[in-house]
Amino acid sequence: MYLYDAIPGGIGFAERLFRIRDVLLQRALEHLDGCGCDDGCPSCVGPAAALGADVKTSTRDVLVLLR
Ligand SMILES: [Zn+2]
């Protein structure tokens, strides 16, 4: 997910992704909920060992708030 374009003036990713943000957030939540790990893994949010034991729960909370 691009949060901003690094190129001055952008190349259009951020604007297009912003327009479909509801779908992106929903798909991210579905991906997170569908992952079989308990606390986070490289397939969903990254390694819990490096990001903290509550990273999966925290990520889910943020996604729900942003929807
Ligand atoms: Zn996972």
Q: For residue 45, what is the enclosing H or E element?
A: none
Cα of 29 vs centre of ligand 1, distance in Å, is 12
pTM (2 decimals)?
A: 0.77
Q: Which residues surround ligand 1, an ion (CB under 5 A)?
A: 35, 37, 41, 43-44
Residues 52, 57, 59, 61, CA torsion sign: negative
The tens digit of pLDDT for each residue in 49-58 reads 888 889 999 9
Cα of 13 vs centre of ligand 1, distance in Å, is 26
The tens digit of pLDDT for each residue in 5-44 reads 778 888 888 788 889 999 999 999 999 999 999 989 999 9
